[in-house]
Structure 1
Amino acid sequence: MAEANIDIHVLDEIMNRTISSVEQSKEKIFDIAENAHKERNHISLELEALKTEIERVIRQTDELDLKARQARQKLAAISRNFRQYSETDIREAYEEASQMQIQLSLSRDKELRLRQRRDELERRHRSILQTIEKSENLIAQMGSVLNYLQGDLKKVGIALESAQQQQLLGIQIIQAQEEERKRVARDIHDGPAQSMANVTLRSEIVERMLNQNRIDEAKVELRLLKELTRASLVDVRKIIFDLRPMALDDLGLVPTLRKYLEEYQKRHGIGAKLTLLTPERRLQNSIEVAVFRLIQESLNNTAKHAQARNVEVRLEFKPHVVHFRVMDDGVGFDQSTRAERPQFGIMGMRERVKLLQGKMKIHSRPGKGTSVLFSIPLRIHDNKQTTP
C-alpha cells in the first residue's frame, strides 16, 4: 500500500507540473492570438487605404495615357507638316509628348508597386487569419485539456491499470485477428485455391481432348471437373460459415447452433449437445450474432484447454433476457490462479458482454469441468442496432 501511495503522490506532482505548463502555454498562445488580431486590424486599415490609392492612380494613369496619345498625335501631325510650324512650336510639341510619356511611365510604375504592396498585404492578411484560427482552436483545446487534467486525480492509479489492461487486450485482439487472417488464408490456399488450380489444369486437358475429337475421354474429365468444383464449393461454404454463418440471418440462432455443434463434434471429437430450456424464438439479428460468437468462443476455449469429452450448450429465452450456458466435463482450472493471468479469450468475451450490458460468470474447479453462464438483456436493444 505504501508503494501505491508514493506512486499516486508522484503522479499528482507530475500532473500539477503538467497543468502549470499547459496554463503557461495557453497564456502564450492567447498573447499570440491578441497580437495577431492587432496586426490584422492594422493590415486591414492599410489595405483599405491602399485600395483607395490604387483606384486614384489607375484613374490618373488612364488620364495620362490619353494625354500622351494626344501629344503623340499632335507631334506626328507637326512632323508631317513641319514647314507650317515654327521651330518653337515643334520643340514645345516634342517636349510635351516627352513629358507626357515620362509621367505616364512613372504613373504605371507607381501603380505596379502599389499592386505588389496590396498583394503582399493580402497574403499577410490571409496568413494572420490562419494564425488567429489556429491559436483560437488551440486555446479551446487546451481549455478542454485543463478541464480534464484538473479533474479528480484520486482514480489515476485505477485508470492507469485499466488502460494497461485495455492496451494488453488491444494487442491480443490484433494478434488474434492476424492469426485468424492467417488461418483463413491457409484454408483458402490449401482448399479452394488448390482446387481452382486443378480445375484450370483439367480444363486445358479437356480442351485438348475436344480438339483431338476424344469425346468419351473428355466426358470422363468433365465429370471429374464437376465433382472437383462441387468439393471446392463445399470448402468455400465452410470458410464462409466460419467467418459469418449466413444461416443466422435466414434460419436464426438455434438452427445455426445445431449445425455448428455438428461440425464442432466432427472436427474436435468432442460430444456436443444443445438443450433448449424454453421454446425457441427469434431475437434481434445483432443479439443473435453476439450470442453465437460468445458460445463459439466458449467452445473454442473448451477445445483448446479443457481436454473435455463432452460439452453442452443450454439456452433459455425470457421476455427481457436470454440466458445461455456452456458446460464441459474437462480438467477445469483454479479460478484464483487464472485471475492472475487473464486469458485473451475470456477477456474478449467479457468485453463483448460489457458492450451488451450483460453479465458473465465462470465456475470451474480442477478436475470438475468448467461452466460459463451468460445473461444478455433484450429490452435495451429493442430500438438499437448494436453489433458487438
Structure 2
Amino acid sequence: MKNLDAKVLDKIVKGTIAAVEKSKTQIFDIYEAAREEMEKVRKDVERIKQETADIIFKVDELEKRERRSRLRLMEVSRNFGKYAEADVKAAYEDTSNVQLELAMARLQEQSLRRQRDDLELRLKTLKGTVEKAESLVSQVGAVLGYLGSQMGIVVSQIESLQASQMFGAKIIKAQEEERRRVAREIHDGPAQAMANIVFRAEVCERLIETDIARAKTELKDLREQVRAALGETRKIIFDLRPMTLDDLGLVPTVRRVLETMKERSKVYPEIKVLGEEKRLDSHIEIGLFRIIQEALNNVEKHAKATSVWVRIDFRPSVVSAVIEDDGEGFASIDTVGNESFGLMGMRERINLLGGDLNVKSEQGKGTSVFVTVPLKQ
C-alpha cells in the first residue's frame, strides 16, 4: 500500500469517527425517549388498573343495592293494599334509579377494561422498541470500535508503533467514558423509578379490597416483573462500568463477575491467580477485563456449560488470561467468527493492546480462550 498523506488521513479518521459517534448519540436519544414514554405508559396502566378495581367494587355494591331494591319492590307489589301510594311510588323510583346507576357503572367498567387492555398492549410494544434501540446502540458501539481499530491499523503504517498504541488507548478511554456516563444516567433514572414502582405495587396490594385473589395475583406478578427489571438494570450498570475496576483492579472485578454469574446461572466458576498480583495501566486493565467479560458472557449464553475456569498470570513483561469451559463447544471458529460481534470486539481490543488472542474449541469438549498482553518495561 502506498503511503498516505498524514493530514488527509487524520481528517478522514476524525470525520468518520465523529459521524459514527453522532449516529450513536442520536440512537441513544431515541432509546431514552422511548424509555421515558414506556415509563409514562406504565404509570398510566397502574392508574387505570386502580380505577378499574374501584369501579368493579362500585358495581358489586350497586348490584347488592339493586337486589335489595327489587326485593323491596316485589314485597310492595305483593301487598299492594298494605302500603300507601307514596311507599309504592318510592319503591319503583328507587329500583329504577339503582338500575340506571348500575347500568352506567357497568358501561364505565367496560370502558376502563378496554383502556387497560389497550395500554398494556402499548406498553408491550414500547418495551420491544426500547429493547431494539438498546441492542442497536450496542451494535453501533461495536461497529465504532471496529472502525476505530481498522483506522488505527492504517495510521500505524505512517506513524510509529507507540503512536498507534496511544491512539488505541484514546479510543478505549472514550468508550469507557461513555459507558460511565450511561451507567450514571440509568442508575439515577430507571433503576430508581422501578424501585418506586415496587413500593407502590405493595401499597396497592394492601389497599385493594375487592376481588382479592385476582388483584393480589396481578400485583404480585407486576412486582416480580419489576424486580426482575430492576435486577437487570443493575446488571447493565455493572457491565457498563464496574466501579471495582477503578478502585481495586482487575482480579477483584473478575471475582465479582464470577460470583454474579454463579448466582444467576447453573455455571460453577473458579479463578486462579498466578504470579504476583499487581495493578496495571488503566487501559490495559479495562481492555483485558472486557475481553474476559465477553468470554464469560459467551459461556453463560451459548456454551451450555456446567463449569468455567479463569486463570490470570502476572509476569514482569506480560499478563495472560485463560478462560476455559466444559460446554458443547463448536467444530470450527469459522462458523461463528464472522457473525459474532462479541468475538469481533475481543479481537479488536486485543489488537489495540498489542497482544494476542486465540480461541480453541472442539465439538462436545468445550472452548478455551487464550489472551496475552505485553507490559511496558
Normalised TM-score (structure 2): 0.42
Larger radius of gyration between Structure 1 and Structure 2? 1
Higher relative CO (CA 8 A, sep ≥ 6), structure 1 or 2?
2
